[in-house]
């Protein structure tokens, strides 16, 4: 009887600890992010200071992406809409940001059409090749242009992480956009206050 009680108690404690989030965000202290100067979907100059005091979801992709980017960005936009219903105060503190890795084609006008399809507050950012190269380095993002097709089009291979950044621009966590909007909203609630 005593052995059963000890085993049951140990299992109960393990179950409690397994569901508790870690005390610190998983990306706390990581060297991800930094200063940037880019152009938004309205042609306006934007820097990291433009988002001061807001949590941001930083996702890197390109608008001509045939599958992954639209799916990921849809999950991010839907997660923010979910938060707007369940926790409007928190949702108001969050800015979803889409940064292109294909500035040659992703002009402000192209970005405007793309981001507006996913969330009205989503910001699309582009810039010169040098500006995009710098922000990709600062956010540990990989991309490389594929071979051109006979028609001149091309794909861009790229990493697909979505970062949740705190109001000071520090990284908190990776968001699981590949698992859908509910998983993204849950992870945001875990780390954003």
* pLDDT 10s digits, 99-155: 999 999 999 999 999 999 999 999 999 999 999 999 999 999 999 998 888 888 899
9 DSSP 8-state letter? H
pLDDT over threshold 50, residue 3: no
pLDDT band at residue 191 using 50, 70 and 90 as cut-offs: very high
Query: What percent of the chain shows pLDDT beyond 90?
Result: 83
Binding residues for Cu cation: 65, 69, 158
**Helical ranges in 20-148 per DSSP H:** 68-86, 88-92, 108-116, 129-138
Name the maximum alpha-carbon separation found in the chain: 76
Q: What is the pLDDT at residue 20?
A: 55
pLDDT tens-digit readout, 57-93: 999 999 999 999 999 999 999 999 999 999 999 999 9
Q: In 3-state terms, what secondary structure has residue 151?
A: coil
Which domains are present in the chain?
33-191 (3.40.30.10)
Q: What is the pLDDT at residue 193?
A: 87
Burial bucket for residue 13 (CB in 10 Å: 0-12, 13-18, 19+): exposed
pLDDT over threshold 70, residue 22: no
Token pair of 76, please? 């991010």
* Rounded Cα–Cα distance for residues 193 and 190 (Å): 8
Mean pLDDT of 8-35: 68
Q: What is the pLDDT at residue 96?
A: 98
Q: What is the pLDDT at residue 23?
A: 80
């Amino acid at each position: 009887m005593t052995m059963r009680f000890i085993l049951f108690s140990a299992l109960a404690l393990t179950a409690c600890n397994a569901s508790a989030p870690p005390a610190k965000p998983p990306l706390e202290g990581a060297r991800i992010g930094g200063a940037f100067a880019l152009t938004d979907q309205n042609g306006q100059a934007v820097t990291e200071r433009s988002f001061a005091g807001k949590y941001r979801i930083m996702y890197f992709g390109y608008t001509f992406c045939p599958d992954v980017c639209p799916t990921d960005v849809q999950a991010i936009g839907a997660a923010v809409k979910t938060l707007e219903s369940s926790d409007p105060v928190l949702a108001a503190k969050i800015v979803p940001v889409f940064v292109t890795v294909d500035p040659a084609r992703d002009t402000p006008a192209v970005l405007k059409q793309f981001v507006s399809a996913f969330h009205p507050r989503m910001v699309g950012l582009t810039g010169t090749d040098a500006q995009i190269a710098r922000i990709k380095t600062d956010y540990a993002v990989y991309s490389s242009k594929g071979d051109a097709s006979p028609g001149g089009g091309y794909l861009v291979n790229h990493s697909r992480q979505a970062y949740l950044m705190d109001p000071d621009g520090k990284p908190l966590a990776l968001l699981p956009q590949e698992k859908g909007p509910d998983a993204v909203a849950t992870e945001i609630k875990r780390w954003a206050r």
